[in-house]
Amino acid sequence: MNKRNEVLLQGNEACAMGALAAGMRFFAGYPITPSTEIAEFLAAELPKLNGTFIQMEDEISSMGAIIGASLAGTKSMTATSGPGFSLMQENIGFASMAEVPCVVVNVMRGGPSTGMPTRPSQGDVMQSRWGTHGDHPAIVLCPKSVLECYTLTVRAFNLAEKYRTPVIVLMDGIVGHMWENIEIPHTHEVIDRAKPTVPPEWYHPYEKLPAGNITPLAPFGQGYRYHVTGMVHDRSGFPTLDHGEVELCLKSITNKIKNNLHDIINIEEYLLKDADICVVAYGSVARSARSAVNIARKEGIKAGMLRPITLWPFPRFHLEGIANRVKTFVVPEMNLGQVYGEVLKSGPKKAVRVTRIDGELITPDQIVSKIQEVSS
Amino acid sequence: MMRTTEAIYKYLRPDKKFPHVWCPGCGIGIVMGALVRAIENTELTKDEIVLVSGIGCSGRISTYLDFNTLHTTHGRALTFATGIKLANPELTVITVMGDGDATAIGGNHLIHACRRNIDINSIIINNNIYGMTGGQYSPTTPMERKASTAKYGSIEKPFDICKLVESCGATFVARGTSFHAKMLDAIMLRALNHKGFSVVEAMSQCPVQYGRRNKLGTPMDMMQWFKDNSVSSPVFDKIPPDEVDEQFPVGVLVNKEDREYIDRYRDIVKKAGGEVH
Ligand SMILES: Cc1ncc(C[n+]2csc(CCOP(=O)(O)OP(=O)(O)O)c2C)c(N)n1
Ligand code: SF4
Ligand SMILES: [Mg+2]
């Protein structure tokens, strides 16, 4: 440690530390590269805090266990990578439907299938949005640095509690395995679970409150006996097929996110004010993109960058605003164009992609050449 | 024993939850009754009990009982239950699963919950079939029996659920049937009082999806079959194996002490220097 209180940390470790700082006291997981360090770190640290660490028999059970722990009132998390993330999908949908807060970390690796376990990728962008079946909400946060692995994990818990929903921290293998000196933030907002203010007889766990307020989730065992199911349910949690109740249930889980975009969406803008070219990049690729923008600027090209920190809900409105001003979007990503497709939806004059799926990072040079190409 | 009406008012959710989904003659209601009576004979309050169920006809039990109830995904009841129990060991956690739920899609979770010996009470309602989805064969469908996906008779050897969970480390294992309602009450009470992972296999008739297809007669005939073929476990053990035809043992089959998982986890907390509450 030096004077500025900096510590050298790995991204995965910083994520685990952020979770502890947010009050996470239950972790269930199954080992998989490149996320394993998160579990290993927590296996050591959680017992010191009288928290629970358990290595489950697979990722399906890990996801089930964290939902159970959350219903019992404990902030909970799991961490995995591609194949494990696929296995979690059914129960992620359960958490969305039953509105149970929890955090899922997916450190992306090359896919599909077993793919390239040790190579980074950004191939799970769409899976993090649409991996589970049916119309459902998704909040996905995407760090680019070790510091953000920490801060965004804290934020993930806050959003999970505030909106009663699973939140995904989508890291790539580079960010997860990167080491950086960071100064651990001493103060940060921690949102704890709200308690019901009404007596048990009046409590409906899925009551739709006015002004976008969300009904607090009473922990099991505290006098509020209610039912939780993955079936479409009424305000008291019991299955229903009444058209009105079905619509209310399904729309409200999505609308609670849609109506709070200003709170949930976070972006970073870099040199965009006068830009002709906007690079849209996220995760570790945003680091190369920033260098590329700097190089282009030195060559007199007016380039800038937009970085979605909240990847889902996608910052569509920000993009639409920029689409009016810039001539071209350049979208570098370690997949075949998953965010590129979202950029196209913002109605750009022109958008091009820089893709890479060979397990190597996208270099600033690669992005610079594309910027030069479109600016000439 | 408490009067039935009182029990109904105390434990069932009267408003909006009835009529229930079960077919006339189904055995699941009898198993649910046994569970309620067993609970009534403990000191537990409704607030202390979490009832976790899977998906299937059996899984619907959680809808009707007035506890903290959780209707999970197919096969995963034990995973959610594990999280609940670890997060709040004070709670009494009961899982109700079907035979398919517990031993097919959820088989992996079942064997590992046994191995951990975590203090969860599991009830597996074995009707030898996938009831809810229309009578497909399950891991407990006997050989040669017909199912909607075993048109020519099943060729798969069925699991003996009790032997399976015993070999995986469950410390309390018992079998009852919907015919032996009082025995089922007693078994469930003992399971609830047991510290460690307990499994009660409740054999239950599914006249609609299993009985009819296999010409097993009325629900009463199916229950009569349970009566005729069940043998109390000490007596069963004396029957020479080559004389066992369709008989099966009922009663408490395993009851042993072993350290429970959360107890052992407390050792870890101590070793790590944490404070054990
Ligand atoms: C992942 C998944 N696969 C399949 C199903 C469909 N499904 C619902 S219940 C069920 C089987 C139920 O059989 P069992 O567990 O024996 O319960 P029972 O209805 O007989 O009580 C199946 C296959 C599902 N809900 N989820
Ligand atoms: S299908 Fe079978 S198990 Fe399901 S409710 Fe009907 S009788 Fe009972
Ligand atoms: Mg069944």
Mean pLDDT over A47-63 rounds to 98
Write out the two tokens for B99. 């035979």
d(CA B113, CA A369): 56
**Statement: residue B16 has pLDDT above 70:** no
Query: What's the CATH superfamily of B23-272?
Result: Thiamin diphosphate (ThDP)-binding fold, Pyr/PP domains (3.40.50.970)
User: What band does B210 get if pLDDT is binned at 50, 70 and 90?
Assistant: very high
B12 inside 8 A of chain A by CB:
no
pLDDT digits (tens, 9 = 90+) for A312-345: 999 999 999 999 999 999 999 999 999 999 999 9
CA of B252 to the centre of ligand 3 (A): 22
Write out the two tokens for B138. 């399950």
Task: Choose among A192, A222, A185: nearest CA to A205.
Answer: A222
**Statement: residue B277 has pLDDT above 80:** no
**Which letter, b or e, does each residue of B5-43 get, where b requires 16 or more Cβ atoms within 10 Å of its Cβ?**
eebeeebbbeeebeebebeebbbbebbbbbbbbbbbbee
Which residues are found with C-beta within 5 Å of the ion, ligand 3? Answer: B 98-99, 127, 131
* pLDDT over 70 percentage in chain B: 99
pLDDT value for A3: 58
Task: Choose among B110, B72, B84, B71: nearest CA to B198.
Answer: B110
CA–CA min distance A41, chain B (Å): 13
- Spatial neighbors of B90 by CB under 8 A, at least 6 apart, are A221, B48
pTM for the whole thing?
A: 0.98
Mean pLDDT over B39-43 rounds to 96
Instruction: With beta carbons less than 8 A apart as the criterion, state whether A251 and A142 touch.
Output: no
Mean pLDDT over A211-237 rounds to 94
Mean pLDDT over A75-87 rounds to 98
CA–CA min distance A97, chain B (Å): 11
CA–CA min distance A70, chain B (Å): 8
**Statement: residue B239 has pLDDT above 80:** yes
Within chain B, where are the H helices? 4-11, 28-40, 61-64, 77-87, 99-100, 107-116, 161-167, 181-193, 219-229, 233-238, 261-272
pLDDT digits (tens, 9 = 90+) for A15-25: 999 999 999 99
Whether B57 is in the pocket of ligand 1, judged by its Cβ within 6 Å, is: yes
Say if the Cβ atoms of B87 and A91 lie within 8 Å: no
Write out the two tokens for A241. 């097929």
If DSSP codes are grouped into helix, strand and coil, which group holds residue A180? Answer: strand
Mean pLDDT over B88-114 rounds to 98
Mean pLDDT over A110-137 rounds to 96
pLDDT digits (tens, 9 = 90+) for A183-196: 999 878 999 999 99
Q: For an interface test with B, which of A203, A227, A231, A245 has the most B Cβ atoms less than 10 Å from its Cβ? A: A227
**Statement: residue B2 has pLDDT above 80:** no
pLDDT value for B1: 53
pLDDT digits (tens, 9 = 90+) for B46-74: 999 999 999 999 999 999 999 999 999 99
**Statement: residue B123 has pLDDT above 50:** yes
Say if the Cβ atoms of B70 and A68 lie within 8 Å: yes
For the four alpha carbons of B244, B247, B248 and B250, in that order, the dihedral sign comes to negative
CA–CA min distance A1, chain B (Å): 24
CATH numbers and ranges of domains, chain A: 6-183 (3.40.50.970), 200-262 (no CATH), 269-375 (3.40.50.920)
Mean pLDDT over A189-212 rounds to 92
Whether B158 is in the pocket of ligand 1, judged by its Cβ within 6 Å, is: no
All structural domains of chain B with their residue ranges: 23-272
* pLDDT over 90 percentage in chain B: 93
Mean pLDDT over A97-105 rounds to 98
Eight-state DSSP code of residue A299: T
Mean pLDDT over A286-296 rounds to 98
**B105 phi, psi to nearest 5 deg:** -65, -30
For chain B, the first-to-last Cα distance in angstroms comes to 37
A212 inside 8 A of chain B by CB:
no
B248 backbone φψ class: left, alpha, beta (φ>0; ψ -120 to 50): beta
pLDDT value for B3: 76
**Statement: residue A212 has pLDDT above 90:** no
**Statement: residue B97 has pLDDT above 50:** yes
B269 inside 8 A of chain A by CB:
yes
A232 inside 8 A of chain B by CB:
no
**Statement: residue A209 has pLDDT above 90:** no
pLDDT value for B4: 82
pLDDT value for A1: 43
Distances (CA, A) of A57 to A348, B108, B199: 47, 7, 19
More confident site: A216 or A187: A216
Q: Which residue has the tokens 């990167």?
A: A178
Surface of A (26-85) touching B: CB under 8 A: 26, 28, 44, 47-50, 52, 54, 56-58, 60-74, 76
**Statement: residue A251 has pLDDT above 70:** yes
CB-nearest partner of B68 from A26, A50, A220:
A220
Angle between helices B4-11 and B28-40 (to 10 degrees): 90
Measure the CA angle with vertex B44, ends B40 and B47; round to 5°.
110
Write out the two tokens for A27. 């972790």
Mean pLDDT over A172-199 rounds to 94
The distance from CA B42 to its chain's CA centroid, rounded to whole angstroms, is: 18
**Statement: residue B165 has pLDDT above 50:** yes
Say if the Cβ atoms of A69 and B84 lie within 8 Å: yes
d(CA A339, CA A336): 9
pLDDT value for A188: 84
